Amino acid sequence: MVFEEKIELGGRTLSLETGRLAKQAQGAVLVRYGDTVVLVTSCISPGPREGIDFLPLLVEYREKYYAAGKIPGGFFKREGRPSEKEILSSRLIDRPIRSLFPKSFRREVQIVANVLSSDQENDSDLLAMIGASASLGLAGAPFGGPIGAVRIGRRDGEFIVNPTCAEREECDIDLTVVTVGDQVTMLEGGMKEISDDDMVKAIRLALEKAPEIVKLQERLIAQCGREKMEFTPAEPAPEIVEEVKRTYESRFIEACGVSEKENRQEAMDMIRAEALEALAETYPEGEKDIKNSFYSIEHDEVRRMVSERGQRIDGRGLEDVRQITCEVGVLPRTHGSAIFTRGQTQALATVTLGTAIDEQRVDDLEGESSKSYMLHYNFPPFSVGEVRPIRGTSRREIGHGALAEKATKAVIPTPEDFPYTVRIVSEILESNGSSSMATVCSSALALMDAGVPIKAPVAGIAMGLVKDGDKYTILTDILGAEDHHGDMDFKVAGTRSGVTTVQMDLKIPGIPMDVIERIVVQAVAARNHIHDVMDETLRAPREEISSYAPRIVAIQIDREKIRDVIGPGGKMIRSIIEETGAVIDIEDDGTVKIASPDREALEKALARVNAIIEDPEVGKVYNGTVRRIADFGAFVEILPGKDGLLHISEIENRRVERVTDVLKEDDKVDVKVLSVERDGKVRLSRRVLLPDYDPNEVRPPRPERRGSRDGRGSRDSRGSSRDGRRPHRR
């Protein structure tokens, strides 16, 4: 039996359907919004996965090319590994759902979202989030949902609920808000230096709209959902917990208070190892419970220090930012570089400037596009003192890089103002809390070091939270342990003028709106402090880009003249490239970009292009080349591909019997343009430039020969043309 529920949202119909497709999955929902359709399924393993201490949740979001009526490119003609968009969408679904499962739930959960149809107007990632929530409800998962997911945009000062892809391009706010009940459980968005108040207004609007989506899911689940599965949280053996607390708790709590991460970890590891050895004989199968007991002690102590004593692990106050140092220009041959160190978190950012051929080509459901600004984030194992294999870019690295890219993209100049492809690479050298926000800060400094004319520097901060009953304690600039044992990771970045990105993840179901407002206010002070420190190092972009970076100039030419610059078979543009060594890129709209690290070569190539597109100017003197000689004059090339007639009467201030008496082919000659006719024909003169030229002299007209045609050529009595061309015959 097929069940369907619908609502109107943002001027379009949002529908959920189940019972027709994927019936062997425990939960399956077909989500439709406009003509975008996503099938989302949820499956749960029958038993727990042993030997793990986390929720084994796997989310896979996939976009099928047939959804947009396309065939994949490449040799195999089928979808390959997940794209960056698919990975980011998978993370977007995972983050709000994971926190709503019981902490000790160990049964494997897999959510698969397949985009079956795309109208290229309504983004499928939001539908996949809603479908994931609904499918878990239908499957009877012990999940604290349903969730409501809404995207808020703002264009020309007006808020838009679930803006289309085209509208999002014009918005200064693009914010995804996920809610549970009347509280917010996740935020993800990019902005264009908006005020903190406007961001809060956008979140409030989402809170108003989200309940409609939750009720839609509840109606569907009530009709055909499975009974919610029973789950009893696993508890460690009470006698082990009691033994660990009695013997080791006081020492372990003391170790938890060591400020340095390495020393703290070493002290706690020593106590754990001692306990495991001492209790091995009494509790031969109790290793897991012993470790869990120590984790609980650490977890409770970190939270108690914050909520009861207002004390941090490293001794800071709740609103204090760790010590910050900044360095720029640290690498000699990169185009720009910076190191940003905040406590034990350190990011090295490098900037590379390239040309249009370095742009990233993107082919997805929305069509082909290109990116001229990229930010890539690397998190090597040595940054946290670990040993593990490096096997390609992780989902976490892609997610953190995308967040930092979103934070800094708002200040990147337009291609018209700065016609470069810009790539930033952030190498995390140390990590103990918020390496993504350190990436934002180091990237802004590196951009300025490279001479990229950004609108303003961007700084980012990570805020934490400890909830104790109804008390919410907010932490500024959280450490790794505070992130791990706390309830929130709220990252916000922006310039002094406004916010450019926000991301919030929770380990509790949700937080109320008034707490979010407090977090935003506290984060502003932290951002301003970081800006002050960054300004002491480098306040504005350098006036010149690196000497190792290519120089690029962009000019706009008439589209009709593109073929002149390219030349027959590309002959003209190849000759310029070979002669100057510059890189030349011509776009369909007539934009010509010329790049070279050598300024002289750049100017030479630019002069060649300008000469090609230049139109002859009446009264201007050109140094031309004689290309062809006729009885009546010489054809002189004054600009690349453009010649004019130097009539025999305009060669000298005396009578010239034969042109060859004065000129020959390939001669260089100075000529002045007398006129440019409507049909493009150019009349030239050499004699007006000669020293003995008398402008008042009245010269008798040259006798015309029989059969002459306006001085352009004369014919003999046999009708043949003196310049060798056959006469036209009817």
Query: Which of 558-567, 626-635, 667-676 shows the lowest per-residue confidence on average (mean pLDDT)?
Result: 558-567
Per DSSP, 464 falls in state E
pLDDT at 132: 97
pLDDT at 698: 58
What does the pLDDT average to over 567-596? 87
What does the pLDDT average to over 81-92? 94
Select, from the ranges 305-314, 352-361, 529-538, 543-552, the one with the highest average predicted confidence (pLDDT). 529-538
Helix 287-309, helix 261-279: angle, nearest 10: 140
pLDDT at 435: 95
CATH code 2.40.50.140 region(s) in the chain:
616-730
pLDDT at 343: 92
CATH number of 3-224: 3.30.230.70
278 versus 533: which is more confidently predicted?
Answer: 533
For CA atoms 703, 705, 709, 712, give the dihedral sign: negative
pLDDT (tens digit, 9 = 90+) per residue, 157-204? Answer: 999 999 999 999 999 999 999 999 999 999 999 999 999 999 999 999
CATH code 3.30.230.70 region(s) in the chain:
3-224, 324-537
Q: Cα separation of 10 and 466, whole Å? A: 36
What tokens does 269 get?
A: 């590891």
**CATH class held by domain 238-309:** mainly alpha
pLDDT (tens digit, 9 = 90+) per residue, 116-144? Answer: 999 989 999 999 999 999 999 999 999 99
428 versus 262: which is more confidently predicted?
Answer: 428
- Kindly list the distances between the CA atom of residue 9 and the CA atoms of 6, 56, 150, 173, 396, in Å, as whole numbers in the listed order: 10, 33, 10, 19, 32
pLDDT (tens digit, 9 = 90+) per residue, 377-386? Answer: 999 999 988 8
Question: Three-state SS for 447?
Answer: helix
| Residue 36: half-sphere exposure toward Cβ, Cα within 13 Å | 24
Say if residues 646 and 686 touch (Cβ distance below 8 Å).
Answer: yes
233 versus 345: which is more confidently predicted?
Answer: 345
What does the pLDDT average to over 634-640? 86
pLDDT at 135: 97
> pTM here?
0.83
When pLDDT is cut at 50, 70 and 90, the band that residue 700 belongs to is low
CATH code 1.10.10 region(s) in the chain:
238-309
pLDDT at 534: 97
Give domain 324-537's CATH architecture.
2-Layer Sandwich (3.30)
Helix 196-224, helix 513-537: angle, nearest 10: 140
The identity of residue 502, as a single letter, is V
Q: Cα separation of 106 and 234, whole Å? A: 10
Peptide bond between residue 146 and the one before it cis (omega within 30 degrees of 0): yes
Interacting residues of 337 by C-beta distance below 8 A, sequence separation 6+: 328, 329, 330, 331, 348, 349, 350, 351, 446, 449
700 versus 311: which is more confidently predicted?
Answer: 311
pLDDT (tens digit, 9 = 90+) per residue, 62-74? Answer: 999 999 998 887 7
pLDDT (tens digit, 9 = 90+) per residue, 535-548? Answer: 999 999 999 998 88
pLDDT tops 50 at residue 428: yes
pLDDT tops 70 at residue 723: no
What does the pLDDT average to over 575-588? 87
CATH 2.40.50.140 fits 616-730, yes or no: yes
Interacting residues of 699 by C-beta distance below 8 A, sequence separation 6+: 649
Number of H helices and number of E strands within the chain?
14, 29
pLDDT at 367: 72
Q: What count of other Cβ atoms lies within 10 Å of the Cβ of residue 519?
A: 21
Buried b (16+ CB within 10 A) or exposed e, 51-61: eeeebebebbb
What does the pLDDT average to over 615-639? 88
Per DSSP, 509 falls in state S
pLDDT mean across residues, the chain: 89
pLDDT tops 80 at residue 259: no
What does the pLDDT average to over 458-462? 97
What tokens does 42 get?
A: 């949820």
When pLDDT is cut at 50, 70 and 90, the band that residue 374 belongs to is very high
pLDDT at 313: 86
pLDDT (tens digit, 9 = 90+) per residue, 237-249? Answer: 889 889 888 888 8
- Kindly list the distances between the CA atom of residue 8 and the CA atoms of 5, 179, 388, in Å, as whole numbers in the listed order: 11, 19, 50
Select, from the ranges 288-297, 491-500, 567-576, 607-616, the one with the highest average predicted confidence (pLDDT). 491-500
pLDDT (tens digit, 9 = 90+) per residue, 703-715? Answer: 544 444 444 444 4
pLDDT at 369: 80
For CA atoms 310, 311, 315, 318, give the dihedral sign: negative
pLDDT at 289: 87
What does the pLDDT average to over 37-45? 97
When pLDDT is cut at 50, 70 and 90, the band that residue 370 belongs to is confident
The identity of residue 67, as a single letter, is A
pLDDT tops 90 at residue 677: no
Q: What topology is assigned to 551-613 in CATH?
A: Ribosomal Protein S8; Chain: A, domain 1 (3.30.1370)
When pLDDT is cut at 50, 70 and 90, the band that residue 521 belongs to is very high
CATH code 3.30.1370.10 region(s) in the chain:
551-613
Q: Which residues pair with 621 in a beta bridge?
A: 672
